Chains A and B, each alone.
Chain A
Amino acid sequence: MSRRFDAGYYISEGFHSIFTHGFMSFAAVCMIVACLVIMGSFTLLAVNLDNMLGDLENENEMVVYIDDSLTEEQARALQPVLAKIPNVSQLSFVTAQRAMEEFKAKRENNALLADLPDETLRDRYHVHVVDIERMAETKAALEQVEGVGVGNVRAAIEIADGFVLVRNIATGVAMVLVGMLLIISLFIIANTIKLATFYRREEIAIMKMCGATDGFIEWPFVVEGMLLGLTGALIAFFVQWGLYQAVAKFAIQGNGISLVTILSYQSMASTILAVFCGVGAFIGVGGSLFAIRKFLQV
């Protein structure tokens, strides 16, 4: 007799089993949804904070003043030295003359400044950094370069530090909660499948006696676990969407100083869906395999 992979049979048995013990299936899906939404919420918070930090990093710059004793050529020659300093992402040289023009341009109506000589200001570099968390360290490194003084750091270091702190807390809490919820979800799925295997223990025993392989017996339960996991993932995706929109709306309304920028859910939707489905399927299949192995010792 031919042996073959009967996918239709496995899927139909998996579906059937879900509805046979509907309450446990419902509980399992609810746990997966809870797990994924909590995981997703903290991860999205971390992602948004990361994005805001990125914005801050782009906006933040340090102004590095060049000593008066250096000529413009000597000042320009410092560029490669400054560029080599760790965490420096971008350097732009501004001559004293250009700096004065910009200074005056911002204060057009102030006649008192009109007669200021170009030499009033110094040549300078505008420096952008890679990691805003290391701003102070970078500033200290820049100050070590001969002929250079660093002042007027236009960086909201306190705000950045706040974002970093919240992001790190969110990431930590997310990891702990996700770990706990994953274990709980695996446990619930495993119990759901155990119930299914207990309910079908006679069928399993008959199949084993007829010569069914462990794989043949396992597959419907694996399909059942996967379906429960994917159903939970899909529901979680939409619950997360609603929750995210509500929180985003609230955050934007209370954001008087435009400090908070929120990423749109749609821009991350495909990634979120893929991650949710992956985690859901992992929980479902993992829980099923964990439960079924015990029942195959016939």
Chain B
Amino acid sequence: MIRLIDVYKEYDNGTKALKGVNIRIDDGEFVFLVGPSGSGKSTVIKLITAEIAPTEGRVMVNGFNLTNISPRQVPKMRRTLGVIFQNFRLIEKKTVYENLSFAMRAIGASNRELRRRIPYVLQLVGLDQKGDRYPGQLSGGEQQRVAIARALVNNPSMIIADEPTGNLDPQRSLEIMMLLERINELGTTVLVVTHEKNLVNRFTKRVVAIENGRIISDETGGYYNVEKI
């Protein structure tokens, strides 16, 4: 569960990124966060992943109050999240399997747990035959699937995808979005940050629109409204 309550964020250079944002995302939801560049989408993601702290207001993520979270608690909070990036952020010199095991080792998983979990997750994203490939040997869509698998491998309760289809063609983008929808159906909360109108409009999901640091619409079963943004 995510709650942003009257959140303001002003960066050191004086940029006011968020101006009183309120968002509530419940467990099991699938939410699109949409808006143009510079609207504050990335700031919301950074607040949720505890990369930055709000200037004012409260941020709650999966039971952790991030407003005054201690440094020791941050890793525990992050283990409840799986983050997917636009540029995949895979380690090129590691195979698909090693990229996933790397993420599992980071939280102290045993070899046994690795052997049990990774094949299951690779199968879930449709890459069960490509565990020994290097990222450079995969297409963009496949690389993003690896990134999704890595986000899922530690069994988080929430997936946060920051422009996950930004580097993909429309067909691959649709496949990735359908995969995220399937993951959501399996019980994981999904928050997708995007500015791809066509893609958003193909799914009848909750759409939260942000512009100039303010939430301008929040509609369940909504669309990316061109007129508003």
User: Which chain A residues have a beta carbon within 8 Å of chain B's beta carbons?
Assistant: 1-4, 6, 9, 202-203, 205-214, 216, 298
Contacts and interface: CB of A to CB of B under 8 A. Distances in A.
Given A1-B108, A210-B150, A211-B77, 11 more contacts: A1-B107, A2-B108, A4-B108, A206-B91, A208-B75, A209-B78, A210-B154, A211-B75, A211-B79, A212-B107, A216-B106
B47 interface: no
A61 to B, nearest CB: 67
Interface of B: 49, 51, 71-72, 75-79, 81, 83, 89, 91, 102-110, 113, 150, 154-155
A298 B46 CA distance: 11
Contacts of A202: 89, 91
Given A203-B91, A211-B75, A211-B79, A2 B105 contact: no
A110 B114 CA distance: 97
A205 B103 CA distance: 11
A6 B108 contact: yes
8 contacts: A1-B109, A1-B154, A4-B110, A206-B106, A207-B102, A210-B78, A211-B76, A211-B79
Contacts of A210: 78-79, 103, 106-107, 150, 154
Contacts of A6: 105, 108
B103 A206 contact: yes
A268 B178 CA distance: 72
A257 B30 CA distance: 93
B107 A9 contact: no
A216 B79 CA distance: 14
A205 B83 CA distance: 12
A2 B104 CA distance: 11
B44 to A, nearest CB: 16
A13 to B, nearest CB: 10
Nearest to B153: A210
B108 A3 contact: yes
Nearest to B160: A209
Contact of A212 (B72, B81, B106, B110): B106
A207 B102 CA distance: 8
A203 B109 contact: no
Contacts of B103: 206-207, 210
A173 B71 CA distance: 44
* Highest count of chain B CB atoms <10 Å: which of A203, A206, A207: A206
A1 B104 CA distance: 9
Contacts of B107: 1, 3, 210-212
Contact of B109 (A2, A209, A298): A2
A67 to B, nearest CB: 80
B93 to A, nearest CB: 10
* Highest count of chain A CB atoms <10 Å: which of B102, B104, B108: B108
A216 B49 contact: no
B72 to A, nearest CB: 8
A208 B103 CA distance: 10
A211 B106 contact: yes
Contact of B75 (A1, A205, A213): A213
